[in-house]
Chains A and B, each alone.
Chain A
Amino acid sequence: DAGVIQSPRHEVTEMGQEVTLRCKPISGHDYLFWYRQTMMRGLELLIYFNNNVPIDDSGMPEDRFSAKMPNASFSTLKIQPSEPRDSAVYFCASSLERESTDTQYFGPGTRLTVL
């Protein structure tokens, strides 16, 4: 299995630009999570989906952030407009069952730098 795939691996953009991060979960997994990791705040859950439906987006920082999951094999996290404080590593993770959250598998992350 290829594992969770994220793209791009690195993104450098200028303040005000739109950024789109992509994630392909492990085939057959029905939960997908988006996390953000910074030195100051650690690893934070932004949003998660079950069967492509957003369940909890309480971690999404503000309206500039949006996430979609149009099908079981693809999700996007969009930031528009981006700001320097959005610079972080964004991880996508997937799992098979919500009750088995100890088996969340993380992707390699997207390292975002907003200048």
Chain B
Amino acid sequence: RKEVEQDPGPFNVPEGATVAFNCTYSNSASQSFFWYRQDCRKEPKLLMSVYSSGNEDGRFTAQLNRASQYISLLIRDSKLSDSATYLCVVILKAAGNKLTFGGGTRVLVKP
């Protein structure tokens, strides 16, 4: 079983709609969680951290469910520019704070 798993998609989303997807992690001792965004043929860039209480950044909302060991990302009022691959990142401090990336979820927002 992979340490961090994501549905690869693609999620085809009409412009203006809401899309949500999850990421599951296998190690219950994982301590920090993030979402990165990667555009086609570009480098990953930090989108947002995921806090235990959940957090929001504009149209983006991230949630953490420690009991079920998953994090989620919700995008409201999708824009064409939201089309990208969203990478889930988990850090396990016991493993030397190494970042472990999920395989990514591809989102395609269409007019």
Contacts and interface: CB of A to CB of B under 8 A. Distances in A.
Contacts of A56: 96, 98
A108 B32 CA distance: 25
B43 A104 contact: no
Interface stretch (B20-28, B52-60, B62-70, B99-107): B99-107
A103 B99 CA distance: 12
Interface in B63-111: 87, 91, 96-104
Nearest to A6: B43
Interface residues of A, number: 19
B91 to A, nearest CB: 6
B1 interface: no
A55 interface: yes
B46 A104 contact: yes
Interface residues of B, number: 19
A71 B110 CA distance: 46
Contact of B32 (A33, A101, A109): A101
Nearest to B95: A56
Most buried by A among B32, B96, B98: B98
Contacts of A33: 99
A44 B32 CA distance: 18
A64 interface: no
Contacts of A42: 101-104
A63 interface: no
Closest 7 CB pairs of A and B: A106-B43, A43-B101, A42-B103, A102-B49, A102-B34, A106-B44, A56-B96
Given A43-B101, A104-B46, 16 more contacts: A42-B101, A42-B103, A43-B44, A43-B87, A45-B98, A55-B96, A56-B96, A101-B91, A101-B99, A102-B32, A102-B46, A102-B49, A103-B46, A106-B45, A107-B43, A108-B43
